[in-house]
Amino acid sequence: MAAAAVGFFGIPAVVVEYARGSVPAISRSALFAMVPVVVVLAVVAGHATGGEERSARQALVPALAGLGGLLLLLPVQFSGPLRGWVMLSLVCAAVILTGLASVWLYRLLRGIGLAAAVAVVGTANAVFLLICSSVREDVVWRWSGLASAVSISSFVDVIEVLLIVWLLQGMQPVRFAARYLVIPLLTVLESYVLMRPEWTVRMGFGTALLAAGAGALLFSKAGEEETMLSLR
């Protein structure tokens, strides 16, 4: 469980931070929109029969549609020097790891309470991030530096982690993966309201694909109790 938690939270966070200067934020958002596709493939590969597998197969089309819609909306750029391609490969690996770890955590977290789940997930990632910070010599040992962590943004991050762990326990992985499409969709809609850009056919088609894919994944009616997920 600790390994799966680090694979879902800690390693992607470190990779994204490390690749921040080489892979633009828009490109990272587009890459993480592939997580639903990874989750669908992981669920299908982890089942021989059952309603969950059939539902996952049906979710592949909405996952690809949402990804395609986001790619139509974002000015994604993947060209650059060799370091950029290396960082891009690391982000792609983090995307795959995130999808696999979410399926793994769903199976592992269902049998324990929320408090125990939060304790394991939080402790494992705290230790992992502390080790990474120590290697990079970014650890802050002074109270003045630690005090900066006590802020509204830190409190929001804590609430976010609690909600994510809670959703990982009870929400089917394919439905949970819709968050990687819903968040960009809300961001795009917010930009339309605030910036009021001139609409184009590409924007309309991309928004429609993204909304349809995210909605289909989020409101899918899969039988969660028919089978237990695995990653055999």
pLDDT over 50 at 32, yes or no = yes
pLDDT in tens, 5-31: 999 999 999 999 888 888 888 888 889
Two structure tokens written together for 126: 């705290």
Q: How many percent of the chain have pLDDT more than 70? A: 84
Residue 196 lies in a domain: yes
Q: What is the pLDDT of residue 48?
A: 41
Residue 228 lies in a domain: no
For residues 10 and 88, give the distance between their C-alpha atoms in angstroms, rounded to a whole number: 18
Q: Which residues does 105 contact at the CB level (< 8 Å), separation at least 6?
A: 1, 4, 5, 8, 168
Q: What is the pLDDT of residue 45?
A: 82
CB 114 within 8 A of CB 168: no
Q: What is the pLDDT of residue 120?
A: 94
CB 3 within 8 A of CB 127: no
Section 118-129 average pLDDT: 93
Residue 11 lies in a domain: yes
Residue 203 lies in a domain: yes
CA distances for 80 relative to 84, 85, 90, 91, angstroms: 6, 7, 15, 15
For residues 44 and 54, give the distance between their C-alpha atoms in angstroms, rounded to a whole number: 8
Two structure tokens written together for 51: 């309603």
pLDDT over 80 at 47, yes or no = no
pTM equals 0.84
DSSP run (H or E) holding 135 = helix 114-135
Number of domains in the chain: 1
pLDDT over 80 at 227, yes or no = no
pLDDT over 80 at 53, yes or no = no
State which amino acid sits at residue 6: V
Q: Which residues does 39 contact at the CB level (< 8 Å), separation at least 6?
A: 63, 99, 102, 103, 173, 174, 176, 177
Q: Quote helix, strand, coil % in the chain, to nearest 5.
A: 75, 0, 25
* CA torsion angle 77 81 84 88 (round to 10): 70
pLDDT in tens, 156-202: 888 999 999 999 988 889 999 999 999 999 999 998 889 888 889 99
CB 180 within 8 A of CB 36: yes
Q: What is the DSSP letter of 25?
A: H
Residue 229 lies in a domain: no
Least trusted range by pLDDT, from 70-84, 90-104, 173-187: 70-84
CA distances for 193 relative to 11, 72, 198, angstroms: 34, 19, 11
For residues 223 and 232, give the distance between their C-alpha atoms in angstroms, rounded to a whole number: 20
- For residues 118-128, one letter each, b for 16 or more C-beta atoms within 10 angstroms of the residue's C-beta and e for the rest, the string is bebbbebbeeb
State which amino acid sits at residue 90: L
Rounded to the nearest integer, the mean pLDDT of the chain is: 84
Residue 139 lies in a domain: yes
Residue 148: which pLDDT band, with cuts at 50, 70 and 90? low
Residue 225 lies in a domain: no
Q: What is the pLDDT of residue 225?
A: 43
Residue 230 lies in a domain: no
Residue 228: which pLDDT band, with cuts at 50, 70 and 90? very low
Section 81-95 average pLDDT: 89
Q: Give the domain extent around 89.
A: 2-218
Which range in 73-82, 130-139, 184-193 is most confidently predicted, on average pLDDT?
184-193
